[in-house]
Structures are given as structure tokens and as C-alpha cells.
Chain A
């Protein structure tokens, strides 16, 4: 059967009550941002090798099973491989004749092409890993509060911070809901004789197209319902609200942030 929820974990939250889960959301968001910046700055394999242990530590401490993350990233990785194959084959750079490994018309495989593709792959994987980890370990409420507090000062410049954060968080958290919905639709259509669980990869992928229209319709319906629900409860954005639970960063949280920054600087320097 089509089991999308197994193969796409983007946007999921998994409670394991680990140290990472208990960290202050603002610190986690800040550390994630540092790692995102790092993914752009680091441009050598050695640099990424230095970052790797940090990622392993985050993974282990978060107590989220590696198998779950890997299986949940299958579609993402397949997509990445597909894109990178093009990157290698159509590598546009100036390549000395000696580094061509294979050539056929405009298609080629060169050591430069492979190197660039490798770096891009690592960058994208780092980006994906840290954002996925942030979402796996941070609840919707914490994520929203954290982002609102971080960007709160922009409110003075009349930036509608609360609304923007809300839109961002809803967009991310709708992903798992949509995936569940797609699975349900696929099951119902399978029962009527559209075999989503038969045929090759391409046939299966094409059948997913059948779900797009109903998914769109239910997406709009859902957004509509959410709007009505928020209006009936007089939602006006966070700046008119006070919080029962104030966020307080512990000294260990700051220590983690400093550790991440130092680690990244070292990785960037090497």
C-alpha cells in the first residue's frame, strides 16, 4: 500500500522528552540558523567532515531513531539524486580536457562536475537535516512562540511579525496533514480500482497526479475552516496576547549555542 507517512517525515513532531526537546525554542532556532548559514559558507569536504560529528551528537541526544529519519527521507534523497545527476551531466564550468572521465555530445562526467555535485549534495543534506531536526524536536506552539519572540523587535518597524510567523508555521505543519489526506484519498481510490500499489515507479508516480485536484479542493476547504475557526475566536495575532508560560533559556541552552557557533567557525576555517 501507499504509505507516504512512512516515507515523508517533513514537518512531523516526535516527542521523546530528550535534552534537545527541552531546550529553549529560541536557542534551537538560533542554532539551526547558524547551521543553515554554515551550509552556505562551508565549501570543502573537510569542512563538512568536521560538522558531521556535531550532527551525530544532535541525532543521538534527540533520541529520535535514525532508521525513522532515514526511511522518512527516502523520497527526498531520491529527488536529490535525480537533480544531482543532471548537475553532473550538464556541468557548465570550464573543464580542462584531462579531467573528463566520460563524454557524449553535450553530456559529460568530469571530476570538477562530480566535486561540485558532491558539495551541493552535502549542503542540501545539511540544510534538510537541521530543519527536519528542528521540526522533529520542537512542538508547533514552541516553534511559533520562539519565532515570534526572535522577530518581535521588528514589530516596531511595522512588520506584521505574528501574522508572518503564523503563515510560516501553518505552512509547515500542513505538510503532514496533507500527506495523511493523500494517503486516505489513495486508499479510497484503490478500493475503487485505481491500483496505487501496483505497477512500476513511473506508473505509480503518474497515478499520484489523480490526487492533486481533490487535495487542492480539500486544502482550500481546510484553510477556509481554519480561518472561520480563528475568526470566531477573535484571533488578532500574538501581540495582543500574554503568555502563561514564559520562555526562559537556561545557561545550558546558551552553552549549546556557543558550542555550535564555535564548531561551525572551526569547520569553516579548515
Chain B
């Protein structure tokens, strides 16, 4: 689903990055990645470990040493001299793999307020945003506002981290492995929440994952990375139809697709571009009916 006619909000042109370049510890993480993301898109950046996902995410907000001419936000080169990086980071909200690392304050309320305060919002506006963000994430404001972050569970801490980013009201929201370490209920809740948020706020949503299980329900488009290059880029169903290739790349497939691949032993042409169990069921019934 690429809305044509609109300018891309994020664009990578031949992006490459080597950590600790020119040292004996140099590590080439991304070799050549190019793609465009349009406003309002829901994109999954998918790949096994070491595929370069996190490096790509860091490049969006200029959190790495960048070569000019490779990363563009709203058509502007973010690595150009004099580019306002502060503004860029206020427009691109990133929730990292380990939420602990981005929690700055000790107390939940203070941490969620950090971003809005730094931007210069008034106290009452900040309070409003904190309340709204915490409530949205199922952490009732009155109850959680004064709790210590270190006394929270892993799942709650991740919610605090997301709330801190949401409170910034960024047009772009990037989540790196948002479901890792959550129990099935936590996953389901977060998934529903993200879908709702994306719709209500018309966010550009980017989700990074090594697993397609949740990403296939959340995204419309997948960009598949392998060892620092883009190997597939297209609508979710199109990518899922190449299930064998995805499995080769060590990417965890959604359960309906796993089922479909089993079915291929019986029906070699069984489709794999299935998102839900209902779709799997009807595809199966169709085969059985015709057999």
C-alpha cells in the first residue's frame, strides 16, 4: 500500500554503515540499503540477527556517524552540515530493543514528562500528555505516576518507554523488537494498541523484528534485510508468498504460514500468503472441497 503522489517521509539511498570504521575492530553492519517510506505507511523491517535492522533504525534519527547523501527525512539530507538534529529527533520516536536504556528518570511520571518538557511545553500541557500517554498504555496515570521505574516488571517498563516516546506526539514511530520478552497477553494488548494508535494519529509506523508473527498483523509492507542488504520489499502478502525463502533467511514465520508450509507437503501449490488462522482454514477447506 504505497500512497502514490505523496513525497516519501523517510528515504534511504544506498545507506551503508561500518561500526568503528578504520580500526581493527571495524564491523560492516549495513552494506547497501535503499527504500522509501511514505507518510501513514505501516512498514515492517524484517531480518535475522546481524541483518542490520537496528543500524537502519539508528540511522533514521541520526544516532550514528552518517555519510551525507544517504538518509533523507522529508526530502532533506539529515547528515548535511547544519541540519537540525534536535528537530529530527523530536519527529522520529524510537522505542529501542531494551527499553531500560532509554528511561532517563527514576519515576514513571517524570520520565514520560521528560520529552515534552525538553521540547518546552508548558507544565499543564506536559501533564496532559503524560496522563494521556500512560492511560493509553494501560498504566493508569493516578496509580503509576509516582512509581519507581526500577520496581516495575519488564513489560511495564517497556510500556513506560513507549509512553515516553508517545508523549512526544511524533509523526513517525519506530519500534525495535517491541514484542520481545512480553507474554502472549501483553503481546496481544500491545498489538491492538499500536494498530489503534496508528489509525487514530495517522502515524508512520515502522516495526523491526526477526519474527513475522506479530508484524504480519501490524504492517502492510515488509522490507526484508539480510546481511546489510535489502533482499525483499513489498506488500505483506507478496512477501509471505515466498515463505521458503523467508525460512531460509532464518526469519520466524507466522503460525498460519507455518501451517500452510506443512500443507504444501499434501498440496504443492498451497498458498502461503495467509495472515490469520481463518484464512488458513478456508484455504484448506477449499482444497479439501476440490479434492
- Chain A residues with CB under 8 Å of chain B are 1, 3, 5-6, 12, 14, 16, 64-65, 67-68, 71-72, 184-185, 187-195, 197-198, 210, 213-214, 217-218
| Cβ–Cβ < 8 Å partners of B65 in chain A | 1, 3
Does chain A have a CB within 8 A of B227?
A: no
| Cβ–Cβ < 8 Å partners of A12 in chain B | 25
Q: B64 contacts which of A1, A5, A67, A210 (Cβ < 8 Å)?
A: A1
Task: Say yes or no: A189 contacts B104, CB within 8 Å.
Answer: yes
Task: Say yes or no: A14 contacts B101, CB within 8 Å.
Answer: no
A73 nearest CB across to chain B (Å)? 13
- Chain B residues with CB under 8 Å of chain A are 20, 22-25, 58, 61-65, 85-86, 89-90, 94, 96, 98, 100-102, 104, 106, 114-115, 118-119, 150, 164-165, 168
Expressed in whole angstroms, the Cα–Cα distance for A67 and B22 within the complex equals 9
Q: B90 contacts which of A5, A184, A193 (Cβ < 8 Å)?
A: A193
Task: Say yes or no: B94 contacts A64, CB within 8 Å.
Answer: no
Task: Say yes or no: B24 contacts A68, CB within 8 Å.
Answer: yes
A-B contacts, 13 of them at CB < 8 A, read: A1-B63, A3-B20, A5-B20, A6-B20, A14-B25, A16-B24, A68-B23, A68-B24, A71-B23, A188-B102, A189-B102, A191-B63, A210-B104
Expressed in whole angstroms, the Cα–Cα distance for A184 and B102 within the complex equals 9
Measured CB to CB, the nearest residue on chain A to B62 is A1
| Cβ–Cβ < 8 Å partners of A65 in chain B | 23-24
| Cβ–Cβ < 8 Å partners of A5 in chain B | 20, 25
B138 nearest CB across to chain A (Å)? 21
A133 nearest CB across to chain B (Å)? 14
Task: Say yes or no: B118 contacts A191, CB within 8 Å.
Answer: no
Task: Say yes or no: A191 contacts B23, CB within 8 Å.
Answer: no
Question: Top 7 nearest A-B pairs by Cβ distance?
Answer: A188-B102, A188-B101, A193-B118, A14-B24, A191-B94, A187-B63, A68-B23
A135 nearest CB across to chain B (Å)? 14
| Cβ–Cβ < 8 Å partners of A210 in chain B | 104
| Cβ–Cβ < 8 Å partners of B58 in chain A | 187
Task: Say yes or no: B85 contacts A194, CB within 8 Å.
Answer: no
Beyond the given A1-B62, A193-B89, please list 4 additional residue pairs across the A-B interface where CB-CB is below 8 A. A6-B23, A188-B102, A190-B61, A193-B119
Measured CB to CB, the nearest residue on chain A to B24 is A14
Task: Say yes or no: A64 contacts B63, CB within 8 Å.
Answer: no
Measured CB to CB, the nearest residue on chain B to A72 is B23
Max chain B Cβ within 10 angstroms of own Cβ: one of A192, A198, A210: A192
| Cβ–Cβ < 8 Å partners of B90 in chain A | 193
Expressed in whole angstroms, the Cα–Cα distance for A191 and B89 within the complex equals 6
Expressed in whole angstroms, the Cα–Cα distance for A1 and B119 within the complex equals 20
Task: Say yes or no: B24 contacts A192, CB within 8 Å.
Answer: no
If A5-B20, A6-B23, A217-B150 touch, does A191 touch B85 (CB 8 Å cutoff)? no
Measured CB to CB, the nearest residue on chain B to A196 is B63
Task: Say yes or no: B104 contacts A192, CB within 8 Å.
Answer: yes
Expressed in whole angstroms, the Cα–Cα distance for A1 and B66 within the complex equals 9
